[in-house]
Chain A
């Protein structure tokens, strides 16, 4: 995590893959052949407020390799949701560009790449609308004009992946599902389109801890399967458990990006941005242990402490 415009601090905590990736089998899903590479270059966007233009993101630049996982952190209002929407292509940047797999905006190839990006909105279950779980998940693939057979397969695989097997849940009305099941159904709707780049906007909000664990497990499996992931979240503990890299947005600008770091400067930067260090990292620091070995999960911590 390099502070923007500053010299690099101490050696970064080496990425070792989140714990949920460790329990996941990379062959558990065929959601994606390979992840998509992403580069944002000078991405800038403003909202209009009355007659004023309020900058939402400004000159945002970062790269994420295919199969990488990035935690997008920042205070409320820092521009996380806006940035995800720009990457997805729901808004066009005023300046700068979102480069996908090395392809610049414009042209047929870029449009095709854009269709391989999935965005899971905040509280995505509000957008469930069909009369059955199966139909809801099929909506996206159909819009991509896939063959009936391909749609059927994709729907079945996506439902399976989120733990709502089609035999049991396919005919159920989305509103007859629990809140946690609805969230997973909404995720299935995005996964059915086999995104190579998956963007998630606060996916854990309002979920009970058990459902959160399930969802973290699903994301771990997708990561293991090579899907590129950007996770916008306030939950620094889950961000640390799941993502190899981190990007901190501050009032729409990149405050830091790269591998996680937890030296004093990095810690200050987190606090200045209304964040905090993950609890397991705090534990390691207070135990006087080498932060380069800080555990990602409670199990890793216990393994080292036992």
Chain B
């Protein structure tokens, strides 16, 4: 197996002036094409992790802190990591800087000194991919929340990346926009990007290769999706929920009618129900 693109071990981070670590002794390894979901209550350190992986903050300490072959413990390494690791933050407002949507998408490429013909081609590709063609000349502040998020994602992905960290990218999107982003992320995975996907949407966790659960800055779970949702005590402790299908199954079990296995999708729930009857 090739070396992981994101290779973190024993990482600590503390905000200036804080009395305790925002992240403590964190391990994370994400390979090419791997999809790792990160879950945890508000304030558990998820967004801090996103910033560190993207080379935007300096870890306080770590045994290993590698991102696409760059050492996040050094200034040069962090700078290099910023090009290879795309980070999409929770709030797209802070990420849109230019006067129009298309300029915003071009911004990162211009900074990298791409020839203008290539930039134009790449921007058109991104506008089409994220359904933004009609909004290309619109000023960012006139976009709706969901449109802003799509524009921000298009800007992050305009630069060819090897890994991407998405911090609740669908939070403000309508269901179709959510499906678009999930499809885009699935495509990135096929293209071989390492994907770290931070989310509060339990339905979006279901397709992950691995789930990492954070609590108060510590990693309290790393493993499969099924095992996480089967652990009711842990789900409660992390302030998580269950996918709707699993919630129905849990309520059935409470009424003495358990299903053979915990379903995480409606398909699985329907299969379980028909097996039972």
Residues from chain A with a CB closer than 8 A to the CB of B210 are none
A306 contacts B252, CB within 8 Å? yes
- Residues of chain B with a CB closer than 8 A to A179's CB: 42-43
Tell me whether A298 and B250 are in contact (CB under 8 A). Answer: yes
Is B175 touching A275 in the complex (CB atoms < 8 A)? yes
- Evaluate contact between A206 and B251: CB separation under 8 angstroms: no
B235-259 CB contacts (< 8 Å) to partner A = 236, 239-241, 244-245, 247-248, 250-252, 254-257
Contact of B168 with A by CB under 8 A: yes
Contact A275 B251 (CB under 8 A): no
The verdict on A202 contacting chain B, using a C-beta distance below 8 Å, is: yes
Question: Does A24 count as interface, using CB distance less than 8 angstroms?
Answer: no
- Tell whether A16 is near chain B: CB-to-CB under 8 Å: no
A77-B144, A208-B240 known; A298 vs B248 contact (CB < 8 Å): yes
Contact with B along A264-278 (1 / 0, CB 8 A): 000000010011100
Who on chain B is nearest to A234 by CB?
B174
Q: Is there an interface contact between A75 and B43, defined as CB atoms closer than 8 Å?
A: no
Asked if B176 contacts A280 (CB within 8 A), the reply is no
Contacts of B244 in A (CB 8 A): 237, 279-280, 283, 298
Q: How far is the CA of A287 from the CA of B172 in the complex (A)?
A: 31
Q: Is the CB of B143 within 8 A of A77?
A: yes
Interface pair A206/B239, CB less than 8 Å apart = no
Q: Which residues of A contact B28 (CB under 8 A)?
A: none
Does A108 sit within 8 A of B, measured CB to CB? no
Give CA–CA (A75, B147) in the complex, Å: 10
Considering only residues 253-300 of chain A, those with a C-beta below 8 Å from chain B are: 271, 274-276, 279-280, 282-283, 286-287, 298-299
In the complex, whether B222 has a CB less than 8 A from a CB of chain A is no
A128 interfacial by beta-carbon distance below 8 Å: no
Indicate if the CB atoms of B273 and A206 lie closer than 8 Å. no
* CB of A180, distance to nearest CB on chain B (Å): 4
Contacts of B241 in A (CB 8 A): 209-210, 212-213
Nearest chain A residue, comparing its CB with the CB of B201? A209
Query: Number of A residues whose C-beta is below 8 Å from B?
Result: 44
> B175–A211 contact, CB under 8 A?
no
Are A302 and B139 in contact, with the CB atoms below 8 A? no
Q: B42 to A49, Cβ gap below 8 A? A: no
Q: State which of A54, A236, A298, A303 has its C-beta within 8 Å of the C-beta of B247.
A: A298
Tell me if B56 is interfacial: C-beta within 8 Å of chain A: no
With a cutoff of 8 Å between Cβ atoms, the chain A residues found around residue B168 in the complex are 206
Are the C-beta atoms of A301 and B251 separated by less than 8 Å?
Answer: yes
- Is there an interface contact between B251 and A279, defined as CB atoms closer than 8 Å? no
For B240, what are the chain A residues with a Cβ–Cβ distance below 8 Å?
Answer: 208-210
- Are B175 and A302 closer than 8 Å at their CB atoms? no
Residue A8 is within 8 A (CB to CB) of chain B in the complex: no
Query: A113 within 8 Å of B by Cβ?
Result: no
Interface: A112 (CB within 8 A): no
CB pair B251–A298 under 8 Å, yes or no, is yes
Contacts of B202 in A (CB 8 A): 209
A49 to B173: give the CA distance in the assembly, Å.
23
User: Known: A178-B43, A279-B244. Contact between A75 and B174, CB under 8 A?
Assistant: yes
Cβ of B112 < 8 Å from any Cβ of A? no
Contact B173 A234 (CB under 8 A): yes
Contacts of A286 in B (CB 8 A): 266, 270
Q: Is A205 an interface residue (CB 8 A)?
A: yes
Judge whether B177 is part of the interface by a CB distance below 8 angstroms: yes
Residue contact B175 to A276, C-beta cutoff 8 Å:
yes
Q: Determine how close the nearest CB of chain B comes to the CB of A83; give it in whole angstroms.
A: 13
| Cross-chain contact B175 with A274 (CB below 8 angstroms) | yes
Report A62-87 CB contacts with B as 1/0, cut-off 8 Å. 00000000000011111001000000
B146 and A209 within 8 A (CB) = no
> What residues of chain B lie closer than 8 Å to A212, measured between beta carbons?
200, 241
Instruction: Indicate if A90 sits at the interface (CB-CB under 8 A).
Output: no
B61 beta carbon closer than 8 Å to chain A: no
A105-156 with Cβ < 8 A to chain B: 122-123
A207 at the B interface (CB under 8 A): yes
Does B142 interact with chain A (Cβ within 8 Å)? Answer: yes
**Beyond A274-B174, A286-B266, A306-B256, 17 extra complex contacts between A and B, CB < 8 Å:** A75-B146, A178-B42, A180-B41, A207-B42, A208-B40, A209-B240, A210-B240, A211-B42, A234-B173, A271-B176, A280-B248, A287-B273, A298-B244, A302-B252, A302-B257, A305-B257, A306-B252
- What are 21 contact pairs spanning A and B, CB under 8 A? A76-B173, A78-B144, A179-B42, A180-B42, A202-B145, A202-B172, A208-B240, A210-B41, A213-B241, A234-B172, A237-B244, A274-B177, A283-B269, A283-B270, A286-B270, A287-B270, A298-B248, A302-B252, A305-B248, A305-B257, A306-B256
Closest 8 CB pairs of A and B: A76-B146, A209-B241, A210-B239, A302-B251, A179-B42, A274-B176, A77-B144, A298-B247
